[in-house]
Amino acid sequence: MLPIITEEMSSEIFPEVFQDVQGWRKNMVQYLKEENPEVNTAILEVAKYDENIDLKAVALGAYLAYRLLEVATENDGLNSLE
């Protein structure tokens, strides 16, 4: 079951991300290395899979999705999708 990500949660996270995209992405790499290294490895492996895609863009999207799910889980334990 996945938690529901609301527009409010997105509005909370987006300014954090887009204020300094490169810095935020680097911080998420370090955070996930400690918090969930398997997910971090998976993100980096997928991003390297195709040389025609932008590694940093793929990683940024994955880290953003992870962060949104993390916030949704913290804030919305009862309302979840099955």
SS3 string, the chain, reads: CEECCCHHHHHHHHHHHHCCHHHHHHHHHHHHHHHCHHHHHHHHHHHHHCCCCCHHHHHHHHHHHHHHHHHHHHHCCCCEEC
**pLDDT reported for residue 76:** 66
Q: Is the pLDDT of residue 77 over 60?
A: no
The pTM (predicted TM-score) of the whole model is 0.81
Res 79 pLDDT > 70: no
pLDDT digits (tens, 9 = 90+) for 21-72: 999 999 999 999 999 999 989 888 887 777 788 888 888 999 999 999 999 9
